[in-house]
């Protein structure tokens, strides 16, 4: 099994281009199931999760191929199998987003209950309740969601009990082909949901209100094909910005949506970093600066993203004071803490709060990744630490970061993949 070996203590400097957003591309690929012509998706990151979704679409019967420019082209006209099996779904929770499109387009679908990261409970109840409100009949049999809407879905007013990104995406896609108008309240506002809505509108959907808590979808009879370019990955961008902060370097992060990183930028400035904003780039200068501690409470967008909590914990671990991290989204997202403690971090867990007393240096150590963003935090800690860090189970990283070690290597890091 591959590992990452890092010789830390080197300030990172240079420029890095950000890849397409994992959390946007997965539902956009699934949205191809709604169409009656091919969809070309541009700026697709080369990630394990993307490969899983492509394999799932191929299993369903869609014709998928790559263009010379590495665009993904999906032709849904060859679909013949409306089953998403456990073998494919178990490795990626986002696989559930094929349920809404299949049900809306074909009137039935069987999707295995999903797996994915072990960061806490992420039930699909809201997905199922929303589809039932649209008239679907849903049963859970043998670990599979068996859904039918043989007379089609019908528009409805639905209030999400909790803000859910994949739930909002699933219901929004299903509603595009429903008869009548659907209103989703307490909807997710994340940029990735907005990107999906923009893609669907290009294909002929009538969606409004994306980016607000209330999304309205006026159902249409069919959606055509076309092309769409995926937005940049704000979490990858944030990870590289934090890398500069914890190594005392200077990095220009290019090909980013600056507005989507407002709260991350604000916290980096609060930590004492110099930030320069450009039209589609951000420069962070941490040269000679030890981070100041920051207090963070995760929240749905536009709040502080839970996917950046682990990375910012490294900032607090190396800060000149005491910072607190309150996790409100997932109940088990502090699994990186024992690994950071192995590297000398002073962290105390109190329920859903991590209290970090900053230390001057972390020390390299063998550590183990437990989920995608925890993996990123250990890489950041290894880059900042004195000595060698060996990170095991890095397949988590490959799920969400494209060419991570190569990109860090271009910034001067001593990092390599080993067995």
Whether residue 356 lies in the annotated active site: no
For the chain, how far is it from start to end, CA to CA, in angstroms? 6
Write down the catalytic residue from 117, 160, 199, 317. 117
Closest CA to 309 of 335, 282, 344: 335
| Cα-to-chain-centroid distance, residue 53 | 14
Q: Starting at the edge strand that comes first in sequence, how are the strands of the sheet with 83-84 ordered? A: 83-84, 108-112, 144-148, 137-141
Closest CA to 101 of 40, 47, 166, 43: 166
Cα separation, 393 vs 40, whole angstroms:
33
What are the C-alpha distances in Å from 114 to residues 85, 87, 120, 170?
10, 10, 13, 14
Kindly write down the DSSP assignment for every residue of 245-260, as one continuous string: HHHT-EEEEES--GGG
The H or E element spanning position 24 is: helix 22-31
Phi, psi for residue 261 in degrees, rounded to 5: -110, 20
Mapping DSSP to helix (H, G, I), strand (E, B) and coil, where does residue 338 land?
helix
Cα separation, 272 vs 246, whole angstroms:
11
- Give catalytic residues, as residue numbers: 117
């Amino acid at each position: 099994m591959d590992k990452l070996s890092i010789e830390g203590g080197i300030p990172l400097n240079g420029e890095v281009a950000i890849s397409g957003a994992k959390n946007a591309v997965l539902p956009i690929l699934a949205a191809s199931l709604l169409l009656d012509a091919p969809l070309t998706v541009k700026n697709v990151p080369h990630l394990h999760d993307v490969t899983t979704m492509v394999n799932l679409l191929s299993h369903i019967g869609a014709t998928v191929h790559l263009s010379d420019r590495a665009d993904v082209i999906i032709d849904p006209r060859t679909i013949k199998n409306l089953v998403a099996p456990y073998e494919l779904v178990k490795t990626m929770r986002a696989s559930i987003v094929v349920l809404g499109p299949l049900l809306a387009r074909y009137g039935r679908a069987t999707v295995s209950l999903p797996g994915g990261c072990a960061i806490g409970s992420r039930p699909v109840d809201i997905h199922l309740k929303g589809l039932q409100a649209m008239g679907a009949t849903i049963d859970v049999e043998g670990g599979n969601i068996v859904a039918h809407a043989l007379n089609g879905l019908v528009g409805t007013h639905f209030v999400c009990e909790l803000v859910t990104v994949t739930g909002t995406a699933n219901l929004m896609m299903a509603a595009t082909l429903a008869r009548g108008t659907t209103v989703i309240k307490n909807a997710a506002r994340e940029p990735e949901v907005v990107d999906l809505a923009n893609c669907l509108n290009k294909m002929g959907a009538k969606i409004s209100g994306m980016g607000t808590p209330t999304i309205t979808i006026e159902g249409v009879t069919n959606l055509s094909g076309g092309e769409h370019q995926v937005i940049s990955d704000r979490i990858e961008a944030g990870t590289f910005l934090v890398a500069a902060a914890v190594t005392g370097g200077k990095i220009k992060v290019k090909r980013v949506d600056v507005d989507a990183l407002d709260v991350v930028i604000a916290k980096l400035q609060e930590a004492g970093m110099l930030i320069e904003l450009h039209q589609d780039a951000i420069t962070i200068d941490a040269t000679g600066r030890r981070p100041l501690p920051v207090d963070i409470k995760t929240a749905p967008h536009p709040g502080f993203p839970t996917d950046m909590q682990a990375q910012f914990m490294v900032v607090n671990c190396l800060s000149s004071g005491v910072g607190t991290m309150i996790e409100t989204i997932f109940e088990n997202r502090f699994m990186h803490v024992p690994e950071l403690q192995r590297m000398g971090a002073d962290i105390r867990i109190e329920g859903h709060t991590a209290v970090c007393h900053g230390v001057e240096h972390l020390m390299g150590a063998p550590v183990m990744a437990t989920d995608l963003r925890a993996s990123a935090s250990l890489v950041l800690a290894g880059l900042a630490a004195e000595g060698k860090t060996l990170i095991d189970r890095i397949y988590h990283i490959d799920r969400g970061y494209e060419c991570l070690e190569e990109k860090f290597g271009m910034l001067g890091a001593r990092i390599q993949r080993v067995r």
